Amino acid sequence: MARSSEERTGTEKKRKDGTGTAAKAAATAAAGLAAGAAAAAGLAAVSDLAGRGANQDPKAGVKSGDPAGGGDGREQADLEAAARGGAASADRPVEERKTDRLTVGIPRAMLYYRYHVLWETFFHELGVDTVVSAPTSRETFLTGAAHANDETCLSEKIFLGHVAELVGKCDFILTPRICNLGRRREYCVRFQAMPDLTRNSFPETELKLLTYSVDEIHGAREKDAFLGMGKELGFPRKAVKRAYDRARKADEDAWAKRVRAEEKKYSQEGIRILIAGHSYVYQDPYFGGMVTDELRKLDVIPVRADVTDRKKALDLSVQVSPTCKWEVSREILGSIAEHRKKVDGIILLSAFPCGPDAMVNELLVRKLQGIPVLNLVLDGQTGAAGIETRLESFIDIIRLQQGSL
């Protein structure tokens, strides 16, 4: 709604005199944003937050003047104001302004297990709160299945269940679109269409999705995608760049630490089983969790094929398949090529009906000779008893071959 001349004059007078309250200024900003909604539809959710009023902890996020904030008080004021969905003010200290902060919901499924350090660090550096959905349960799966179509894979049904859990608990739900990281480094088509699949799975719900697109074949790099996402949220470019650089460094350090810990398992005494599967299958506590729990009950050491030196694995993957084009599948193939002689058996763990895994695992069953291999496909009907029986039989075969049974 357009403001009258008297309202505009009154507002300007209060700005000059410094007598306007924070709530009045926020209301004025909200009205201005509403007037330009048609030109800024992509930022409508951010605009909705401009008029909120609540206490903010001044210690949350990065404070101006500290080492993480770079010592630039004006820039930090803009940064924290953007996190609250309002405009920055150079006339008031950051600590005195009191409004809500943005909250981004992160579904605990699919790419969460690969990128959660990157995402959570990035938003933390910007002063944006994050909320992660609870670990997968039977209810999560059933809710997601109710929103999915018949051809949707198990992992995406779980993802949709986590999205449903976050509705109403945050300002945005993070749903990235990752197509590829270069040639022969592609992601499953479900990741390429994830924002569209998610939105179309909730036709009666007005989802506020926050997304970024990575397609390096066509020039859309990850860093540029994050800069664009930060700009959409209203943050200054310098602050977003700093947040991304720190998040990328934190992600790389965390991954290197995980790889070192996983490598130590290859030298442990006992039956070592290499589990070749996507992280969102292996680490899902409801489906993948029952596999690892049962292996530990059988006194077996499970080792993850996907936790490996990624660059080295990509180079080694051609030893198994010179034509495989999927990024994560190539990492797993390379890890198997490197570690197969250090383990006693391999479990190919996948979720029904995963297209890439159906092809890659069939290739592995034919290529892997001289080592026990179990092809284990999980679906919504999987019962613990059936999984236990197959795993027990598999481990008994290994022990029989070793002469310990």
Query: How confident is the model over 150-190, as pLDDT tens digits?
Result: 888 999 999 999 999 999 999 999 999 999 999 999 999 99
Given this model, what pLDDT does residue 383 score? Answer: 67
Helix (H, G, I), strand (E, B) or coil at 401: helix
Given this model, what pLDDT does residue 9 score? Answer: 44
Using alpha carbons, select from 357, 363, 319 the residue that is nearest to residue 339: 319
CATH code: domain 268-402 is 3.40.50.11900
Q: Residue 382 — very low, low, confident or very high, per pLDDT cuts 50/70/90?
A: low
Cα–Cα distance measured from residue 307 to residue 393, given in angstroms and rounded to the nearest whole number? 26
Q: Write down the domain spans for the chain.
A: 103-255, 268-402
How many CB atoms are located within 10 Å of the residue 42 CB?
8
Given this model, what pLDDT does residue 151 score? Answer: 84
Report which DSSP code applies to 96: G
Cα–Cα distance measured from residue 109 to residue 281, given in angstroms and rounded to the nearest whole number? 9
Residues 6 or more apart whose CB falls under 8 angstroms from that of 399 comprise 271, 405
Question: In the chain, what is the straight-line distance between the N-terminal and C-terminal CA atoms, in Å?
Answer: 80
Lowest mean pLDDT among 38-42, 157-161, 276-280, 366-370: 38-42
**In this structure, what token pair is assigned to residue 60?**
């949350």
Model-level pTM? 0.74
Cα–Cα distance measured from residue 188 to residue 186, given in angstroms and rounded to the nearest whole number? 7
pLDDT tens digit sequence for 94-153: 233 233 689 999 999 999 999 999 999 999 999 999 999 999 999 999 999 999 988 889
Decide if 180 contacts 187 (C-beta within 8 A). Answer: yes
CATH code: domain 103-255 is 3.40.50
